Structure 1
């Protein structure tokens, strides 16, 4: 996916703000994974989510983290399908917490070490990663 610049990171790390600014300044197409969450959920034929209380208040944090990583694995093919449809146009800046390096690197057949200009993953610092 040599037409895609990847920007991943934790929730609240600033990646969406950075992505909007970069897309504006560099005239890039912005693909925000969060904006496609419900469409991807529908396309996957995923079950009903239940109440927010059941999901967020009654589920242990370890299970929530495991569900997030598992869901990221499941949704990546749909993200790649969407991005492939944007091939041939301007560069695309894809951003979202689901863009984990271990998922993106193998999916991007043009991946090169960071700095080659063909593939880069940017992970904004989070408070816990800067301690």
Structure 2
């Protein structure tokens, strides 16, 4: 694995998608396996219960859960049978103290204003009253997690990138590229095509389970990668899981 970690709202997902497609790397966002992991983990308190105990308690709970999930992430990545090609793993669950043996990793940490903006933009896409109600608690927890990432990055000598309220995404992306180096790539053609479809199907599964869990009448569109198998293809199509299934008339999503 190579990692992009950091606190919520730092642009990790967008940068990881961009790099994975330009570099022909398998993409593995931890959040796309959330519901898969729930069934493989011991019973846990709810997020609302953790937040009710205060931001420090909620942050500690998040770290404990993240350590358990890291083992599951490793199992998931091994199950993809990628050989020498590393998966580009992205998520707030990845902390510098967990990265022993990971040669290439970087952490993005946003300021409080950037985190708030990112969370409010996500809430604006769907009708989620419970998410809106716990916004302030999440933001307080996020601040604790951001400080933890900063401390651990210094302690473990890891690359940390601060993301301001007016980020220069070109500069930030270039810094991430430098930190990750030049990892081996997937072979263009069938293998690259299969991995992109694997990622798209994971996004469909996660989206449908999320919709069922919070009772959404419909899902908002979200991005799916082109499955053409061409090296460096960064074409993206946005839609719902049902639309994705309907678009793959020949078994593959080709949009470039």
- TM bucket (normalised to shorter chain) is 0.7 to 0.9
Higher alpha-carbon deviation: 14-23 or 80-89:
80-89
1:80 maps to 2:77: no
Of Structure 1 and Structure 2, the greater helix share is in 2
8 A contact 2:50–2:61 mirrored in 1? no
Counterpart of 1:12 in 2: which secondary structure? coil
Correspondence for 1:101: 96
Corresponding position of 1:70: 64
SS of the residue aligned with 1:24?
Answer: helix
Which structure exhibits the higher relative contact order, with contacts defined as CA atoms closer than 8 Å and separated by 6 or more residues? 1
**What TM-score results when the alignment is normalised by the length of structure 1?**
0.75
| Rounded Cα–Cα distance in structure 2 between residues aligned with 1:38 and 1:59 | 24
40, 43, 46: which one pairs with 1:46? 43
Report the structure number with the largest CA radius of gyration.
2
The CA RMSD measured in Å over matched residues stands at 2.2
Could you tell me which residue of structure 2 aligns to residue 24 of structure 1? 21
Question: Take 1:69 and 1:53, find their aligned partners in 2: how far apart are those partners?
Answer: 16
Q: CA deviation at 1:89?
A: 6.7
Return 5+ residue gaps in structure 2 as ranges. 113-149, 151-161, 165-256
Matched residue pairs, number?
114
Deviation at residue 45 of structure 1 after TM alignment: 3.6
Gaps of 5+ in 1: 112-118
**TM-score relative to the length of structure 2:** 0.40
Task: Give 1:33's match in structure 2, choosing from 27, 30, 34.
Answer: 30
